[in-house]
Structure 1
Amino acid sequence: MRIRDHRADDEPEINLVPMIDVILVLIIFFVVTATFDARSVLKLELPRASGEATESNQALSILVNASGRYFVHDREVLRDDLDSLKATIAEVAGNDRDRPVLLRADARTPHQAVVTAYDALGQLGFRRIMIATAPTPKGAGEGRQ
Protein backbone atom coordinates (compact mmCIF):
# COMPACT_ATOMS: atom_id res chain seq x y z
CA MET A 1 0.00 0.00 0.00
CA ARG A 2 1.32 3.30 -1.06
CA ILE A 3 0.70 6.38 1.08
CA ARG A 4 0.23 9.42 -1.02
CA ASP A 5 1.58 12.80 -0.03
CA HIS A 6 -1.21 15.40 -0.48
CA ARG A 7 1.06 18.32 0.14
CA ALA A 8 2.29 18.28 -3.41
CA ASP A 9 -1.26 18.83 -4.70
CA ASP A 10 -1.77 22.01 -2.67
CA GLU A 11 -1.34 25.11 -4.78
CA PRO A 12 -0.14 28.25 -3.05
CA GLU A 13 -2.70 31.06 -2.82
CA ILE A 14 -2.55 34.65 -1.71
CA ASN A 15 -5.17 35.60 0.84
CA LEU A 16 -6.38 39.17 0.09
CA VAL A 17 -8.69 39.55 3.09
CA PRO A 18 -6.05 40.96 5.48
CA MET A 19 -4.88 43.45 2.84
CA ILE A 20 -8.45 44.62 2.23
CA ASP A 21 -8.96 45.01 5.99
CA VAL A 22 -5.86 47.19 6.28
CA ILE A 23 -6.91 49.35 3.33
CA LEU A 24 -10.40 49.88 4.77
CA VAL A 25 -8.95 50.86 8.15
CA LEU A 26 -6.65 53.37 6.44
CA ILE A 27 -9.54 54.87 4.45
CA ILE A 28 -11.64 55.22 7.60
CA PHE A 29 -8.70 56.80 9.43
CA PHE A 30 -8.14 59.42 6.72
CA VAL A 31 -11.83 60.26 6.43
CA VAL A 32 -12.22 60.70 10.18
CA THR A 33 -9.07 62.78 10.62
CA ALA A 34 -9.61 65.04 7.60
CA THR A 35 -10.74 68.52 8.54
CA PHE A 36 -13.35 70.23 6.47
CA ASP A 37 -13.54 74.00 6.41
CA ALA A 38 -16.76 75.60 5.18
CA ARG A 39 -14.94 78.77 4.24
CA SER A 40 -12.76 76.92 1.73
CA VAL A 41 -15.80 75.73 -0.21
CA LEU A 42 -17.07 79.19 -1.05
CA LYS A 43 -14.77 81.77 -2.56
CA LEU A 44 -15.92 85.13 -1.24
CA GLU A 45 -14.43 88.48 -2.05
CA LEU A 46 -15.34 90.51 1.01
CA PRO A 47 -15.90 94.25 0.77
CA ARG A 48 -13.05 96.39 2.11
CA ALA A 49 -13.21 98.56 5.21
CA SER A 50 -10.85 100.03 7.74
CA GLY A 51 -11.25 99.11 11.37
CA GLU A 52 -10.15 96.57 13.91
CA ALA A 53 -10.79 92.87 13.54
CA THR A 54 -12.98 91.15 16.10
CA GLU A 55 -13.33 87.46 16.52
CA SER A 56 -16.40 85.61 17.65
CA ASN A 57 -16.33 81.82 17.83
CA GLN A 58 -19.96 81.45 18.90
CA ALA A 59 -21.38 83.64 16.13
CA LEU A 60 -24.02 82.31 13.78
CA SER A 61 -22.42 82.46 10.33
CA ILE A 62 -24.48 83.49 7.30
CA LEU A 63 -22.74 83.57 3.93
CA VAL A 64 -24.11 85.21 0.79
CA ASN A 65 -22.18 84.38 -2.38
CA ALA A 66 -21.81 86.55 -5.49
CA SER A 67 -24.98 85.16 -7.08
CA GLY A 68 -27.10 85.82 -3.98
CA ARG A 69 -27.28 82.24 -2.61
CA TYR A 70 -27.48 81.89 1.19
CA PHE A 71 -25.54 79.49 3.43
CA VAL A 72 -26.30 79.26 7.18
CA HIS A 73 -23.27 77.61 8.80
CA ASP A 74 -22.76 74.60 6.50
CA ARG A 75 -26.33 74.40 5.20
CA GLU A 76 -27.37 75.89 1.88
CA VAL A 77 -30.76 77.58 1.73
CA LEU A 78 -32.44 75.95 -1.24
CA ARG A 79 -34.60 78.92 -2.24
CA ASP A 80 -33.62 82.57 -2.04
CA ASP A 81 -36.89 83.90 -0.64
CA LEU A 82 -37.33 85.41 2.82
CA ASP A 83 -39.39 82.57 4.30
CA SER A 84 -36.88 79.86 3.34
CA LEU A 85 -34.02 81.91 4.78
CA LYS A 86 -35.91 82.54 8.02
CA ALA A 87 -36.79 78.85 8.38
CA THR A 88 -33.16 77.76 7.90
CA ILE A 89 -31.82 80.39 10.32
CA ALA A 90 -34.42 79.45 12.95
CA GLU A 91 -33.61 75.75 12.55
CA VAL A 92 -29.85 76.24 12.88
CA ALA A 93 -29.92 78.89 15.64
CA GLY A 94 -32.65 77.33 17.75
CA ASN A 95 -34.08 79.61 20.46
CA ASP A 96 -30.88 81.60 21.10
CA ARG A 97 -31.68 85.08 19.77
CA ASP A 98 -28.92 86.78 21.82
CA ARG A 99 -26.28 84.96 19.80
CA PRO A 100 -24.17 87.27 17.60
CA VAL A 101 -24.57 86.86 13.84
CA LEU A 102 -21.67 87.23 11.39
CA LEU A 103 -22.91 88.13 7.91
CA ARG A 104 -20.35 87.39 5.20
CA ALA A 105 -21.46 88.78 1.87
CA ASP A 106 -19.38 88.77 -1.29
CA ALA A 107 -18.49 92.26 -2.56
CA ARG A 108 -20.31 91.45 -5.82
CA THR A 109 -23.48 90.27 -4.06
CA PRO A 110 -26.66 92.08 -5.14
CA HIS A 111 -27.64 94.58 -2.45
CA GLN A 112 -31.14 93.05 -2.27
CA ALA A 113 -29.68 89.73 -1.05
CA VAL A 114 -27.95 91.48 1.87
CA VAL A 115 -31.10 93.45 2.71
CA THR A 116 -33.12 90.22 2.67
CA ALA A 117 -30.65 88.63 5.10
CA TYR A 118 -30.90 91.65 7.44
CA ASP A 119 -34.69 91.55 7.16
CA ALA A 120 -34.84 87.83 8.04
CA LEU A 121 -32.53 88.34 11.03
CA GLY A 122 -34.53 91.33 12.25
CA GLN A 123 -37.85 89.49 11.98
CA LEU A 124 -36.42 86.55 13.94
CA GLY A 125 -35.25 88.88 16.74
CA PHE A 126 -31.48 88.94 16.25
CA ARG A 127 -29.98 92.27 17.31
CA ARG A 128 -26.22 91.62 17.37
CA ILE A 129 -25.37 91.53 13.67
CA MET A 130 -21.80 91.96 12.40
CA ILE A 131 -20.74 92.19 8.77
CA ALA A 132 -17.44 90.70 7.67
CA THR A 133 -15.06 92.84 5.64
CA ALA A 134 -11.52 92.52 4.37
CA PRO A 135 -8.89 94.99 5.54
CA THR A 136 -8.16 97.96 3.31
CA PRO A 137 -4.74 97.72 1.65
CA LYS A 138 -2.16 100.20 2.96
CA GLY A 139 -2.35 103.50 1.10
CA ALA A 140 -5.47 102.61 -0.89
CA GLY A 141 -7.86 104.77 1.14
CA GLU A 142 -5.62 107.80 1.47
CA GLY A 143 -6.44 110.94 -0.48
CA ARG A 144 -10.13 110.16 -1.00
CA GLN A 145 -12.95 112.00 0.65
Structure 2
Amino acid sequence: MGRKNRRGSLKPDLTPLIDVIFLLIIFFMISTTFNNYGTIPIELPSSTVESKKENKAVEIIVDKHGRFYVNTEGKNQEVTLEDIPNHLQGVEEVTISADRDMKYQTVMNVMTKVKEQNIANMGLTFYE
Protein backbone atom coordinates (compact mmCIF):
# COMPACT_ATOMS: atom_id res chain seq x y z
CA MET A 1 0.00 0.00 0.00
CA GLY A 2 1.42 3.12 -1.00
CA ARG A 3 0.81 6.43 0.51
CA LYS A 4 -0.63 9.07 -1.61
CA ASN A 5 0.70 12.48 -0.97
CA ARG A 6 -1.69 15.19 -1.74
CA ARG A 7 0.11 18.17 -3.01
CA GLY A 8 -2.90 20.31 -3.56
CA SER A 9 -3.10 23.78 -2.09
CA LEU A 10 -3.63 23.73 1.62
CA LYS A 11 -5.42 26.72 3.09
CA PRO A 12 -5.12 27.48 6.77
CA ASP A 13 -8.37 27.74 8.74
CA LEU A 14 -8.88 31.46 9.53
CA THR A 15 -11.93 31.03 11.75
CA PRO A 16 -10.00 31.01 15.06
CA LEU A 17 -8.01 34.06 13.95
CA ILE A 18 -11.20 36.00 13.13
CA ASP A 19 -12.68 34.99 16.50
CA VAL A 20 -9.61 36.29 18.33
CA ILE A 21 -9.68 39.58 16.39
CA PHE A 22 -13.37 40.15 17.25
CA LEU A 23 -12.65 39.40 20.90
CA LEU A 24 -9.80 41.92 20.89
CA ILE A 25 -11.99 44.57 19.27
CA ILE A 26 -14.71 44.02 21.86
CA PHE A 27 -12.14 44.12 24.67
CA PHE A 28 -10.66 47.41 23.47
CA MET A 29 -14.11 48.97 22.97
CA ILE A 30 -15.17 48.07 26.51
CA SER A 31 -11.92 49.04 28.22
CA THR A 32 -11.58 52.40 26.48
CA THR A 33 -12.00 55.48 28.60
CA PHE A 34 -13.18 58.64 26.96
CA ASN A 35 -11.44 61.89 27.68
CA ASN A 36 -13.55 64.54 29.27
CA TYR A 37 -12.41 67.80 27.89
CA GLY A 38 -12.20 70.55 30.44
CA THR A 39 -14.67 73.38 30.33
CA ILE A 40 -13.75 76.99 30.26
CA PRO A 41 -15.59 79.05 32.86
CA ILE A 42 -17.10 82.19 31.36
CA GLU A 43 -19.10 84.98 32.88
CA LEU A 44 -21.96 86.24 30.75
CA PRO A 45 -22.60 89.96 30.88
CA SER A 46 -25.72 91.07 32.65
CA SER A 47 -28.35 93.08 30.84
CA THR A 48 -29.47 96.50 31.96
CA VAL A 49 -32.67 96.30 29.91
CA GLU A 50 -35.80 95.20 31.71
CA SER A 51 -37.35 91.96 30.57
CA LYS A 52 -40.33 92.32 28.29
CA LYS A 53 -43.51 92.81 30.22
CA GLU A 54 -46.48 90.56 29.80
CA ASN A 55 -48.59 91.58 26.83
CA LYS A 56 -51.74 93.13 28.26
CA ALA A 57 -54.75 92.60 26.04
CA VAL A 58 -58.27 93.90 26.49
CA GLU A 59 -61.44 92.88 24.69
CA ILE A 60 -64.18 95.44 24.14
CA ILE A 61 -67.55 93.81 23.47
CA VAL A 62 -70.35 95.72 21.77
CA ASP A 63 -73.77 94.04 21.83
CA LYS A 64 -76.63 94.60 19.37
CA HIS A 65 -78.27 97.14 21.69
CA GLY A 66 -75.16 99.36 21.62
CA ARG A 67 -73.95 98.55 25.15
CA PHE A 68 -70.20 98.33 25.77
CA TYR A 69 -68.40 95.79 27.94
CA VAL A 70 -64.70 95.72 28.73
CA ASN A 71 -63.26 92.26 29.34
CA THR A 72 -60.14 92.44 31.52
CA GLU A 73 -58.83 89.36 33.30
CA GLY A 74 -61.91 87.33 32.32
CA LYS A 75 -64.47 89.74 33.79
CA ASN A 76 -66.96 91.67 31.66
CA GLN A 77 -67.67 95.12 33.02
CA GLU A 78 -70.30 97.35 31.44
CA VAL A 79 -68.94 100.79 30.57
CA THR A 80 -69.95 103.86 28.60
CA LEU A 81 -68.25 104.99 25.42
CA GLU A 82 -66.60 107.88 27.25
CA ASP A 83 -65.30 105.54 29.97
CA ILE A 84 -63.49 103.16 27.57
CA PRO A 85 -60.18 105.13 27.53
CA ASN A 86 -59.91 104.74 31.33
CA HIS A 87 -59.73 100.95 30.89
CA LEU A 88 -57.03 101.13 28.21
CA GLN A 89 -54.17 102.51 30.33
CA GLY A 90 -51.03 100.41 29.77
CA VAL A 91 -52.76 98.12 27.27
CA GLU A 92 -50.84 97.00 24.19
CA GLU A 93 -53.54 95.10 22.31
CA VAL A 94 -57.29 95.59 21.95
CA THR A 95 -59.83 93.28 20.35
CA ILE A 96 -63.24 94.71 19.52
CA SER A 97 -65.98 92.06 19.37
CA ALA A 98 -69.20 93.39 17.90
CA ASP A 99 -72.60 91.91 17.14
CA ARG A 100 -73.15 91.44 13.43
CA ASP A 101 -76.59 93.11 13.53
CA MET A 102 -75.54 96.42 15.09
CA LYS A 103 -74.78 99.77 13.50
CA TYR A 104 -71.26 100.04 12.16
CA GLN A 105 -71.00 103.66 13.36
CA THR A 106 -70.94 102.38 16.94
CA VAL A 107 -67.91 100.21 16.11
CA MET A 108 -66.24 103.20 14.46
CA ASN A 109 -66.77 105.24 17.65
CA VAL A 110 -65.05 102.52 19.71
CA MET A 111 -62.18 102.30 17.20
CA THR A 112 -61.73 106.08 17.45
CA LYS A 113 -61.49 105.87 21.26
CA VAL A 114 -58.89 103.10 20.97
CA LYS A 115 -56.89 105.03 18.39
CA GLU A 116 -56.85 108.10 20.65
CA GLN A 117 -54.93 105.98 23.20
CA ASN A 118 -52.17 105.27 20.60
CA ILE A 119 -52.73 101.50 20.64
CA ALA A 120 -51.32 100.04 17.45
CA ASN A 121 -52.54 96.44 17.82
CA MET A 122 -56.28 96.47 17.29
CA GLY A 123 -58.39 93.55 16.11
CA LEU A 124 -62.03 93.44 15.04
CA THR A 125 -64.30 90.39 15.23
CA PHE A 126 -68.02 89.96 14.67
CA TYR A 127 -70.31 87.42 16.28
CA GLU A 128 -73.93 86.48 15.75
Range class of TM-score, shorter chain? 0.3 to 0.5
Which structure has more strand as a fraction of its residues? 2
Higher Cα Rg, which structure:
2
TM-score, length of structure 2 as denominator length: 0.47
Higher relative contact order (CA 8 A, sep 6+): 1
Which structure has more helix as a fraction of its residues? 1
TM-score, length of structure 1 as denominator length: 0.42
